[in-house]
Each structure stands twice: as C-alpha cells, then as structure tokens.
Amino acid sequence: MSRVAIVTGGTRGIGAAISKGLKDAGYTVAATYAGNTQAADKFSAETGIKVYKWDVSDPKACEAGIAQVADDLGDIEVLVNNAGITRDGWFHKMDYDQWSAVMKTNLDSMFTMSRPVLDGMRARGAGRIINISSINGQKGQIGQTNYSAAKAGVIGFTKALAQETARKGITVNCICPGYIDTDMVSAVPEKVLEGIIGQIPVGRLGKAEEIAGMVCYLASTAAAFVTGSVMTINGAQYVANG
C-alpha cells in the first residue's frame, strides 16, 4: 500500500507539525502552501519534506497539484485538509470579501481537495481523510461568524462523507483544535487572548504537536474503525459532544 500523505497548509503552524509527525510515522509527505514561499522553502530545507504551492480554493489548481504529487510520490493514502485562514471582525462590520475568503479557503477546500483524491482511494479500497475544524466551529466565537460557519461546515462534511465512504475502506474524521500556539492565534489582540487563555482549564495554549499526534493516530491502521468522528482537543475550554 502506498504511504503518501498530503497536508494542506503543511509548512507552518499546526500543518507543519502534522507534516513532520506523518514523516516520522513513515509517510512520504507533500506539504502545500499558498503564498509564503520563504517559510515553505525554509521548512523544506529543514525537514526534507517536499513542498508544493497552490491555492486550495481553486478547483483546477487542486486537481493539477494533486496529480503532480501522485506523479512525483505515488498514490495518495492520506489527505489532511488543514489549510485555513481568519478574517476576524464583528459581523455588522464584515464585508463580503472577508466572508467569502474564509468560506473558500476553509470550506470550499473540503470539496476541491477531497474530490480529486477520492476516486483513487475508492479504487484501492483504502484511504484516510482528516479535516481540521476548530473549537469555534463547535461553539461559535465573537468576531468569527465567517470562520465559525466554515468550520461547522467542515464537521457536517466529515460526518456525511464518512458514511458514504465507510464500505470502501476510507475513513473520514475531523479534529477540532482549541487555541493552539501558532501565528494565527498570535494575531488575536493581546488583551483578548489573555481572556481566552483564562477560559482554558488546562491553563495554557495547546501545542501544534498535540494536534499532530491525533492526526497520526487517525492515519494509522489502529484507527480503522474510527470514522465520522469529531475529535475535540482544547484543554477542556469547551466540552462538546462530537
């Protein structure tokens, strides 16, 4: 069986930790990125992980990019839909560009990335799709109507696709990270972030590696019966039913 994994947004933040975790677990990893070539090149030089630049909200770019990865590395066994952006702001001040940028990158990407890998996974009778949602898709967050809606959509997508693919040996799960120590969370105004950390019973931000560990488990054969699941990893900030 092939051991190739694609991690979108896989060169920075949570995605970088996932790419490294999967590499350590024995996968040949392709990490995609959207724009920050300098960070991607540095990541690739440090880790030996191959990086690919394309926009996950562009269906044609995804088809071409995935075909290129398959040509370069082999059949794709694991897809981690991790790429995501924020455009925070009160809804009454939000413009359509802020809304649609988040919808395209965070939710449309579930289609644009998963659809092209699915035929091959079905034909081989094996595959893993792991989607990164968010605590804020579970509970909603002030300043994030766009992001919360998109991330809630990721949960629905996961549950539906898991049922469709269950008999084909393909599992589909999602992870809802809480506030993790990444550039994305550092962009939250300092005062606001202090308040958020105060709401985390564990008393600290999460680490990207703590999300990567769950991805590696979900990718493994040990997790063959885990599908359609919502894995909550948030230091007990929000205790949700899957």
Judged by the rule CB under 6 A, the positions of this chain that interact with ligand CAA are 86, 88-90, 134-136, 141-144, 147, 177, 179, 184-185, 188-189, 192
CB 150, min distance to ligand CAA, A: 10
Residue nearest to ligand CAA (CB): 143
Question: Rounded to whole angstroms, how far apart are CA atoms 141 and 83?
Answer: 19
Residue pair 78/27 in contact (Cβ under 8 Å)? The answer is yes
CB 109, min distance to ligand CAA, A: 15
Q: Which of 51, 25, 149 is nearest to 99 (CA)?
A: 149
CB 116, min distance to ligand CAA, A: 26
Q: Toward ligand CAA, which CB reaches closer, 115 or 204?
A: 204
CB 137, min distance to ligand CAA, A: 8
Q: List CB contacts of 145: < 8 A, sequence separation 6 or more.
A: 91, 94, 99
Which active-site residues does the annotation give? 147
Q: Toward ligand CAA, which CB reaches closer, 140 or 169?
A: 140
Note the helical H segments in 25-134: 37-47, 59-73, 96-102, 109-124
Residue with structure tokens 């988040």?
102
Backbone angles phi, psi at 141, to 5 degrees: -145, 130
Q: Toward ligand CAA, which CB reaches closer, 121 or 231?
A: 231
Q: Toward ligand CAA, which CB reaches closer, 106 or 171?
A: 106
Residue pair 81/130 in contact (Cβ under 8 Å)? The answer is yes
Burial of 170 (0-12, 13-18, 19+ CB in 10 A): buried
